[in-house]
Homo-oligomer: A and B are copies of this chain.
Amino acid sequence: MIVDCHGHFTTVPTAHTEWRRTQLAAWESGLTPPPYPEIGDDEIAAALAPRQLAMMDERGIDVTLFSPQASAQGHHLGDAEVSLEWARRCNDLVHRATRLFPGRFVGVCQLPQSPGTSLENSVAELRRCVEELGFVGCNLNPDPSGGSWDSPALTDEYWYPLYQAMVDLDVPAMVHVSASANPAVHTTGAYYLNADTTVVMQLLAGDLFADLPALRLVVPHGGGAAPYHWGRFRGLAAMLDRPTPADGLLGNLFFDTCVYHQAGIDLLTRVVPASNLVFGSEMIGAVRVEDPETGHHFDDTRRYLDACALTAAELAQVFAGNARRVYPRMP
């Protein structure tokens, strides 16, 4: 059994993406957006079967925890109302995918965050997705500005209403930014990884998990730079008079395995206990090509795990067991 905890619906029907374009254009002009288009089940199936599903089959991935495309969530665009409408449309589309391919996709929702606004809409949309649509988690954007980092750190009470809802519903968040709004900071080559690192440091310096011991967060892309610099983080924890990362973070924090080469996965599995790793590939995502050195896709992360030093029992945890603990609402 293999559960991929990190998949985004990146191959959506064109009509969905086109509507987003018109929604933002309407907002910029102060107009009402056109109605959301009719999209047939056949279009959704056609968007998934030959690509996402075919690749899951090819790689032996049974289930993907599926959320709207991260870079398209665009919380910095429009306003709170625009974000709410867009999040609902995206989540409804993911929901339809989960209904069309039951057992293969499980929903993880986009939150209608909007810079400088409260998390009220996000809490409501999380509840709708979990209670009405059967979703099992959410993507939480720690920097909805697209790069300014002007939201409070994730350890700040600003975020607590959302955390409380997550705890009540027993769902985790994957902490994942959307597209970079800054041309100097590449979205998938810098901003994503930087956000992961920034968030691990925020958590290390704060008291969040002592305050909310039932909260669970997943940091994607193998934790950004954190496992590679685990000694730095252990040392900074000591200098800040904080618990070690192992004591202070690993009861509540998980890393996915979206690291696209063998040496990286070997480091990750050496540094972070297997109990804190959830299998992820972010397929179909940032890196869609084959590695000429191996002849396999860079994001075929199962291969690196199969070849790493973990025992069979540990691998079973990483491939599925931990996902069941982190996402207990998964069917």
Residues of A within 8 A of B (CB): 143, 147-153, 182-186, 188-190, 193-194, 197-198, 201-202, 204-205, 221-222, 224-225, 227-236, 238-239, 259-261, 263-264, 266-267, 270-271, 286-289, 291-292, 298-299
Contacts and interface: CB of A to CB of B under 8 A. Distances in A.
Contacts of A271: 261, 263
The 3 closest A-B CB pairs, nearest first, are A231-B261, A231-B260, A235-B287
Contacts of A148: 148
A260 B289 contact: no
Please tell me how many copies of the chain the complex holds. Answer: 2
Given A266-B267, A287-B239, A185 B298 contact: no
| A143, A147, A205, A289: most-surrounded residue (chain B CB, <10 A) | A289
Nearest to A297: B235
A8 B287 CA distance: 37
A271 B267 CA distance: 11
A286 to B, nearest CB: 7
Contact of A184 (B149, B233, B267): B149
A227 to B, nearest CB: 7
Nearest to A282: B232
Contacts of A204: 189
Nearest to A187: B201
Contacts of A197: 189-190, 193-194, 197, 225
B235 A260 contact: yes
B153 A228 contact: no
A143 B261 CA distance: 29
Contacts of A233: 189
Contacts of A147: 149
Nearest to A265: B231
B298 A235 contact: yes
Contacts of A289: 235, 238-239
A316 to B, nearest CB: 23
Contacts of A230: 261, 263-264
